[in-house]
Amino acid sequence: MHIALLVHDRFTALDIVGPYEVLSHLPDARVDFVAEQPGPVRTDTGFLAVTADKALHEVPNPDIVVVPGGPGTFDQLKNQALLDWLRAVDATSTWTTSVCSGSLLLGAAGLLRGRRATSHWLALDLLKEFGAEPTGERVVTDGKYVTAAGVSSGIDMGLTLVGRIAGDEHAQAVQLLIEYDPQPPYDAGSPDKAPAHLVEEFRTHSRFTLV
Protein backbone atom coordinates (compact mmCIF):
# COMPACT_ATOMS: atom_id res chain seq x y z
CA MET A 1 0.00 0.00 0.00
CA HIS A 2 1.75 3.14 -1.24
CA ILE A 3 0.65 6.35 0.47
CA ALA A 4 1.51 9.84 -0.81
CA LEU A 5 1.26 12.64 1.73
CA LEU A 6 1.37 16.04 0.06
CA VAL A 7 2.93 19.05 1.73
CA HIS A 8 2.90 22.61 0.43
CA ASP A 9 4.06 25.96 1.68
CA ARG A 10 2.22 27.00 4.87
CA PHE A 11 0.24 23.79 5.27
CA THR A 12 -1.15 22.92 8.71
CA ALA A 13 1.06 20.25 10.29
CA LEU A 14 -1.59 18.22 12.11
CA ASP A 15 -3.64 17.99 8.89
CA ILE A 16 -1.08 15.61 7.49
CA VAL A 17 0.62 14.17 10.59
CA GLY A 18 -2.71 12.85 11.92
CA PRO A 19 -3.39 10.67 8.85
CA TYR A 20 0.32 9.82 8.57
CA GLU A 21 0.42 8.45 12.13
CA VAL A 22 -2.56 6.21 11.43
CA LEU A 23 -2.04 5.18 7.78
CA SER A 24 1.64 4.35 8.27
CA HIS A 25 0.39 1.38 10.35
CA LEU A 26 -1.42 -0.16 7.37
CA PRO A 27 0.01 -3.55 6.41
CA ASP A 28 2.96 -3.14 4.03
CA ALA A 29 2.65 0.64 4.17
CA ARG A 30 5.10 2.60 2.10
CA VAL A 31 4.79 6.32 2.76
CA ASP A 32 6.18 9.24 0.78
CA PHE A 33 6.00 12.87 1.78
CA VAL A 34 5.85 14.75 -1.52
CA ALA A 35 6.02 18.38 -2.58
CA GLU A 36 6.58 20.37 -5.71
CA GLN A 37 10.22 20.68 -4.67
CA PRO A 38 11.84 18.09 -2.40
CA GLY A 39 13.35 19.38 0.83
CA PRO A 40 12.07 21.08 3.95
CA VAL A 41 8.60 22.62 3.70
CA ARG A 42 7.46 25.14 6.33
CA THR A 43 4.10 24.94 8.04
CA ASP A 44 1.65 27.81 8.52
CA THR A 45 3.21 28.98 11.80
CA GLY A 46 6.72 29.10 10.35
CA PHE A 47 7.93 27.19 13.43
CA LEU A 48 8.07 23.73 11.88
CA ALA A 49 9.50 22.25 8.71
CA VAL A 50 8.93 18.72 7.50
CA THR A 51 10.98 17.13 4.79
CA ALA A 52 9.42 16.25 1.46
CA ASP A 53 11.56 13.29 0.38
CA LYS A 54 10.11 13.21 -3.13
CA ALA A 55 9.08 15.62 -5.86
CA LEU A 56 5.61 15.24 -7.32
CA HIS A 57 6.86 13.60 -10.53
CA GLU A 58 8.65 10.93 -8.50
CA VAL A 59 5.34 9.68 -7.08
CA PRO A 60 3.14 9.07 -10.13
CA ASN A 61 0.77 6.35 -8.90
CA PRO A 62 0.22 6.06 -5.14
CA ASP A 63 -2.66 3.93 -3.86
CA ILE A 64 -3.70 6.63 -1.39
CA VAL A 65 -3.15 10.36 -1.71
CA VAL A 66 -3.71 12.72 1.22
CA VAL A 67 -3.97 16.49 0.69
CA PRO A 68 -3.66 18.78 3.72
CA GLY A 69 -5.01 22.32 4.10
CA GLY A 70 -3.91 25.40 5.93
CA PRO A 71 -3.56 29.08 5.10
CA GLY A 72 -1.18 28.20 2.26
CA THR A 73 -3.90 26.25 0.47
CA PHE A 74 -5.27 29.36 -1.14
CA ASP A 75 -1.99 30.16 -2.90
CA GLN A 76 -2.04 26.67 -4.41
CA LEU A 77 -5.52 26.85 -5.93
CA LYS A 78 -4.07 28.13 -9.19
CA ASN A 79 -0.87 26.08 -9.09
CA GLN A 80 -1.32 24.14 -12.33
CA ALA A 81 1.61 21.79 -11.69
CA LEU A 82 0.06 20.73 -8.41
CA LEU A 83 -3.46 20.44 -9.83
CA ASP A 84 -2.14 18.43 -12.79
CA TRP A 85 -0.44 16.03 -10.36
CA LEU A 86 -3.65 15.66 -8.34
CA ARG A 87 -5.59 14.80 -11.50
CA ALA A 88 -2.88 12.36 -12.62
CA VAL A 89 -2.58 10.46 -9.35
CA ASP A 90 -6.35 10.42 -8.97
CA ALA A 91 -6.61 8.56 -12.28
CA THR A 92 -5.05 5.47 -10.69
CA SER A 93 -5.52 5.96 -6.92
CA THR A 94 -7.63 3.67 -4.77
CA TRP A 95 -8.42 6.51 -2.38
CA THR A 96 -8.14 10.25 -2.95
CA THR A 97 -8.41 12.11 0.34
CA SER A 98 -8.08 15.48 2.02
CA VAL A 99 -8.09 17.10 5.44
CA CYS A 100 -9.26 20.62 6.27
CA SER A 101 -9.13 23.11 3.39
CA GLY A 102 -7.21 20.52 1.39
CA SER A 103 -10.59 19.59 -0.10
CA LEU A 104 -10.53 22.93 -1.92
CA LEU A 105 -7.46 21.70 -3.79
CA LEU A 106 -9.27 18.53 -4.77
CA GLY A 107 -12.13 20.78 -5.85
CA ALA A 108 -9.87 23.08 -7.86
CA ALA A 109 -8.52 20.00 -9.63
CA GLY A 110 -12.08 19.21 -10.67
CA LEU A 111 -12.29 16.01 -8.63
CA LEU A 112 -15.27 16.80 -6.42
CA ARG A 113 -17.91 17.85 -8.96
CA GLY A 114 -21.27 16.46 -7.92
CA ARG A 115 -19.76 14.81 -4.84
CA ARG A 116 -20.53 15.20 -1.16
CA ALA A 117 -17.50 16.56 0.67
CA THR A 118 -16.36 18.40 3.78
CA SER A 119 -13.67 20.88 4.79
CA HIS A 120 -12.66 23.07 7.71
CA TRP A 121 -15.89 24.64 8.98
CA LEU A 122 -14.66 28.08 7.93
CA ALA A 123 -14.06 26.89 4.36
CA LEU A 124 -17.05 24.62 3.97
CA ASP A 125 -19.19 26.89 1.81
CA LEU A 126 -16.34 27.43 -0.64
CA LEU A 127 -16.67 23.83 -1.79
CA LYS A 128 -19.74 24.92 -3.76
CA GLU A 129 -17.48 26.97 -6.03
CA PHE A 130 -16.09 23.67 -7.28
CA GLY A 131 -19.40 21.96 -7.81
CA ALA A 132 -19.22 19.90 -4.61
CA GLU A 133 -22.00 19.49 -2.11
CA PRO A 134 -20.68 20.53 1.33
CA THR A 135 -21.77 18.57 4.39
CA GLY A 136 -20.96 19.30 8.02
CA GLU A 137 -19.96 15.71 8.80
CA ARG A 138 -16.50 15.05 10.20
CA VAL A 139 -15.49 12.42 7.64
CA VAL A 140 -17.29 12.16 4.30
CA THR A 141 -16.87 9.22 1.95
CA ASP A 142 -18.26 9.52 -1.58
CA GLY A 143 -16.93 6.74 -3.78
CA LYS A 144 -13.17 6.73 -3.45
CA TYR A 145 -13.11 10.36 -2.27
CA VAL A 146 -12.74 10.77 1.47
CA THR A 147 -12.67 14.30 2.84
CA ALA A 148 -12.27 15.28 6.49
CA ALA A 149 -13.19 18.43 8.40
CA GLY A 150 -10.68 20.73 10.12
CA VAL A 151 -7.13 19.85 11.20
CA SER A 152 -7.59 17.15 13.89
CA SER A 153 -10.26 15.27 11.92
CA GLY A 154 -7.59 13.57 9.82
CA ILE A 155 -7.04 11.11 12.68
CA ASP A 156 -10.68 10.00 12.46
CA MET A 157 -10.38 9.82 8.67
CA GLY A 158 -7.24 7.71 8.93
CA LEU A 159 -8.92 5.19 11.22
CA THR A 160 -11.96 5.07 8.96
CA LEU A 161 -9.72 4.28 5.98
CA VAL A 162 -7.67 1.67 7.85
CA GLY A 163 -10.93 -0.06 8.79
CA ARG A 164 -12.06 -0.07 5.16
CA ILE A 165 -8.72 -1.31 3.86
CA ALA A 166 -7.46 -3.69 6.55
CA GLY A 167 -10.55 -4.46 8.61
CA ASP A 168 -12.04 -3.33 11.89
CA GLU A 169 -9.64 -5.25 14.07
CA HIS A 170 -6.55 -3.77 12.46
CA ALA A 171 -8.03 -0.28 12.84
CA GLN A 172 -8.78 -0.95 16.49
CA ALA A 173 -5.19 -2.11 17.02
CA VAL A 174 -3.91 1.15 15.51
CA GLN A 175 -6.30 3.16 17.69
CA LEU A 176 -5.01 1.32 20.77
CA LEU A 177 -1.38 1.81 19.74
CA ILE A 178 -1.79 5.58 19.36
CA GLU A 179 -3.98 5.54 22.50
CA TYR A 180 -6.69 7.54 20.74
CA ASP A 181 -9.18 7.77 23.56
CA PRO A 182 -9.88 11.49 23.25
CA GLN A 183 -10.74 13.43 26.39
CA PRO A 184 -10.70 17.09 25.42
CA PRO A 185 -10.98 19.34 28.49
CA TYR A 186 -13.60 21.46 26.68
CA ASP A 187 -16.44 20.72 24.30
CA ALA A 188 -15.87 23.50 21.81
CA GLY A 189 -14.53 21.62 18.80
CA SER A 190 -17.22 22.50 16.27
CA PRO A 191 -19.20 25.63 15.43
CA ASP A 192 -22.32 23.93 16.82
CA LYS A 193 -20.69 23.39 20.21
CA ALA A 194 -18.35 26.34 20.75
CA PRO A 195 -19.48 29.60 22.37
CA ALA A 196 -21.33 31.54 19.65
CA HIS A 197 -19.21 34.67 20.00
CA LEU A 198 -16.04 32.69 19.25
CA VAL A 199 -17.61 31.29 16.09
CA GLU A 200 -18.67 34.77 15.08
CA GLU A 201 -15.22 36.22 15.70
CA PHE A 202 -13.59 33.60 13.50
CA ARG A 203 -16.17 34.12 10.79
CA THR A 204 -15.60 37.89 10.85
CA HIS A 205 -11.83 37.72 10.78
CA SER A 206 -11.37 34.64 8.66
CA ARG A 207 -9.25 35.00 5.60
CA PHE A 208 -10.72 31.82 4.18
CA THR A 209 -12.03 33.46 1.02
CA LEU A 210 -11.25 32.67 -2.58
CA VAL A 211 -9.39 35.50 -4.24
Residues interacting with a second copy, by CB under 8 A?
A: 12-14, 17-18, 20-21, 24, 29-33, 40, 45, 47-51, 53, 100, 120-121, 138-139, 149-153, 155-156, 159-160, 163, 168-169, 171-173, 175-186, 188-191, 193-195, 198-199, 201-202
Q: Beta strands of the chain (E only): which ranges?
A: 2-6, 30-35, 39-42, 49-52, 54-55, 64-67, 95-99, 116-117, 133-134, 139-142, 145-148
Q: How far apart are CB 110 and a second copy at their closest, in Å? A: 26
For a second copy, the closer of residues 10 and 79 by Cβ is 10
Alpha carbon distance 82, 187 (integer Å): 37
For a second copy, the closer of residues 96 and 153 by Cβ is 153
Alpha carbon distance 110, 104 (integer Å): 10
- Annotation says 78 is catalytic: no
Q: How far apart are CB 5 and a second copy at their closest, in Å? A: 8
Looking at 23, 100, 139, 157, which residue is catalytic?
100
Q: How far apart are CB 128 and a second copy at their closest, in Å? A: 19
Distances (CA, A) of 70 to 53, 57, 67, 105: 20, 23, 10, 11
Mind telling me the catalytic residues? Answer: 100
